[in-house]
Chains A and B, each alone.
Chain A
Amino acid sequence: MAPSPSPSSTPTRSTLTLRVNGEEHTLSVDHRTTLLDALRERLDLTGTKKGCDQGQCGACTVLLDGRRAVSCLQLAVAAEGREVTTIEGMAEDDRLHPVQQAFLDLDGYQCGYCTPGQICSAVAVIEEHAAGWPSAVTEDVRPEAGPPPLTAEEIRERMSGNLCRCGAYVSIVQAVARAAGTGAGRPAEGAESTEAAA
């Protein structure tokens, strides 16, 4: 874009093309419009939820170019040219994404409001881990230490950007572990198992 010499003449709207779940949408947006509001109010993709609108809860998590981000702090105009994936884009036709299926089977939710964000986040967590990214609870972050195993503790830390007030964390961790194909979700650590017979 060419620099505009006069601030007063700066337009406050733009026409842009958003690429969401593989589909392109051209729309005129107020620059104040967040990606979250564009999805919800303009594209009727209301699966992405507004929990705080301040980046403090994670309910609005989507994938931007495959990486998780909070859409409430992402201006729609600044998302042009990026690939947006929302909860509506996770399932393939009628087949749920393995993370979705695990949340459903293991009851990784209650009210369901934080769930789309949890699932988008979990999909990214599994990929971040596969890419060898350490976390704040990784014992040794040095590359020579090798990638950390995706333990329950690692999942908890990595999923902590998604608050769940119903308190579904225990089954969320189990669901992420199941979808990631690790054993981390199984109740362990000395206490008796009361695993749900889902």
Chain B
Amino acid sequence: MREFGYQRATDVSGAVALLDADPHARFLGGGTNLVDLMKSGVERPARLVDVTALPLDRIEPTDDGGLRIGATVTNSDLAAHPLVRHRYPALTQAVLAGASGQLRNMATVGGNLLQRTRCAYFTDVTGPCNKREPGSGCPAARGEHHNHAILGASDHCVAVHPSDMGVALTAFDAVVSYETADGPGELPLADFYLPVGDTPHRETALPPGALITGVTLPPVPAAAHSRYRKVRERASYAFAIGSVAAALDVRDGVVRDARLALGAVASRPWRARAAERVLTGAAADAATFGAAADAELAAARPLPRNGYKVTLMRNLIVAVLTELAGPTRPAGPAQEAAR
């Protein structure tokens, strides 16, 4: 880790000005990803601008029935907030499925959205990686990739986005607010992450030097009946090999509204719009759910050793939708039935 300067910003404009003045500076939130990447040599900032003291730590209801979540709200506070749990239970479930209690106390909402992939080739600076060193190659494509992307990847990068929180936010049409030296801006989360293409090192559409100030969730009545499920290689404290955030509004056996997003399948949280189109207006039954999953996964391009993810995601989508369409409230882990 190289030596670096450190400054604690006390207001948003000051923070943005500090970063604007120094192209080698980074914002420091909880540090759970950035400090780790600095230790492994992936990130070598000359200066850190600590934004955790900024007044962006509030969760407030919006007038239209949504929520505005400050960028420095910790993952723990987000998950525990009564309005989040009441209006968007899948968001709480997603956040709680990530990392550990310690890390959730440190990690911020803004930092979570900007966290880097956990592809092991990306974090190992002794080897090539197009995301870390553009043009150096992608050893994952031919190497160990059983937890890599099946959707939206390219020959240049097959890494997946590691966020759980982002999957739920994506399902619920969250909008990211940011501040730059030129003023504020907004980006729907659906447009926040750039396609991989041949520029996997360019990950978001944020302007250079932008500071994420918050995330706004619009009112999503269906989200009150929502669910996040995550499959991983141990029962806790591990990244997903596949996850689903879903909300379903079923009336008289017909799907009125459906929200579906997938995790650990692409370079970004994957909004399953093709599946949603199949679901909306259709009968809430197994055939519809299977057809919805198939519609989304038709675009899947699995790698030689991660084809199982297509099956996994199909099963997981059907299981979560079935559960949400069931006669009872969203059930807990012990009550899920995969039928």
Contact = CB atoms under 8 A, between A and B. Distances in A.
A136 B93 contact: yes
Nearest to B224: A142
A183 B259 CA distance: 40
A140 B335 CA distance: 11
B22 to A, nearest CB: 4
A136 B335 CA distance: 14
A190 interface: no
B236 A10 contact: no
B100 A1 contact: no
Given A10-B47, A55-B103, A128-B101, A139 B1 contact: no
A139 B335 contact: yes
B163 interface: no
A75 B35 contact: yes
B102 interface: yes
A4 B20 CA distance: 11
A144 B330 CA distance: 13
A134 B332 CA distance: 12
Nearest to A16: B6
Nearest to B333: A137
B92 interface: yes
Contacts of B80: 131-134
A107 interface: no
Given A140-B330, A141-B92, A69 B6 contact: no
Contact of A124 (B28, B92, B101, B237): B101
The A interface, classified by DSSP as helix, strand, loop or mixed, is loop
B31 A74 contact: yes
Nearest to B10: A1
A138 interface: yes
B101 A68 contact: yes
A143 B87 CA distance: 10
A97 B226 CA distance: 40
Contacts of A156: 236
Interface string A1-43: 1011101001110100000000000000011101000000000
A139 B175 CA distance: 29
Interface string A139-179: 11111100000000000111011110000000000000000
B17 interface: yes
Contacts of B79: 133-134
Interface string A39-53: 000000000000001
B32 interface: yes
The 6 A-B residue pairs with the shortest CB-CB distance in the complex, in nearest-first order: A161-B100, A10-B5, A139-B332, A160-B236, A12-B3, A143-B82
22 contacts: A4-B5, A7-B24, A10-B5, A12-B4, A31-B4, A31-B48, A54-B40, A64-B106, A67-B76, A70-B102, A70-B103, A75-B31, A131-B80, A136-B97, A139-B332, A141-B89, A141-B92, A141-B96, A143-B82, A144-B86, A157-B235, A161-B237
